[in-house]
Amino acid sequence: MDHLPGGPDKAWDTAVLTVDANVLLDLYRYHAATRDSILAALEAFAPRVWISNQAANEFIVNRKRAIISAEKTFREANTILEELAKSLDSGVNKLKGNRLVPRGAVEKLRVRAGSALAEARAKIQQAQSDHPNYLTEDPILDRLLVLFEKRT
């Protein structure tokens, strides 16, 4: 990039940025902080940001599916936690059956791992309840419409 007139900083100051539909659809799949960082980065390029008509159409066609997939992700996370809890119980029961393993160590493992699972479950439930219903109100779409107005 040293061969660019004005150096690499000049390229960042004058370059045009375009994104594909997947970048925009992933905004519905990210944690709020990540999503806001990406949107802020895109907005920093205004008015040098644009989207192709094809990418805009793909975004609109697949937007609802991306929103719904977030709910599926929460369900999958809860299923994984349930499987971990069952596996923990099974493992603890096996350890309890081993006469050479100190019962105190097994009980401490059960309590600590159970506590960690409960904490993870609570955080996931909180994230799920905090997750907006973008089908009824969509600030992501609102920001994108402003960002890409007359830039398609």
pLDDT at residue number 45: 87
Confidence at residue 2, expressed as pLDDT on a 0 to 100 scale:
55
Q: What is the pLDDT of residues 16-75, one digit of tens each?
A: 889 999 999 999 998 889 999 999 999 998 889 999 999 999 999 999 999 999 888 999
Q: What is the pLDDT of residue 32?
A: 87
Helix (H) / strand (E) element for 17: namely strand 17-18
Q: What is residue 62's three-state secondary structure?
A: helix
- What's the mean pLDDT in 133-142? 94
Model confidence at 14, pLDDT cuts 50, 70, 90, reads: confident
**How far, in Å, CA of 13 to CA of 118, rounded?**
48
**Confidence check: pLDDT of 4 > 70:** no
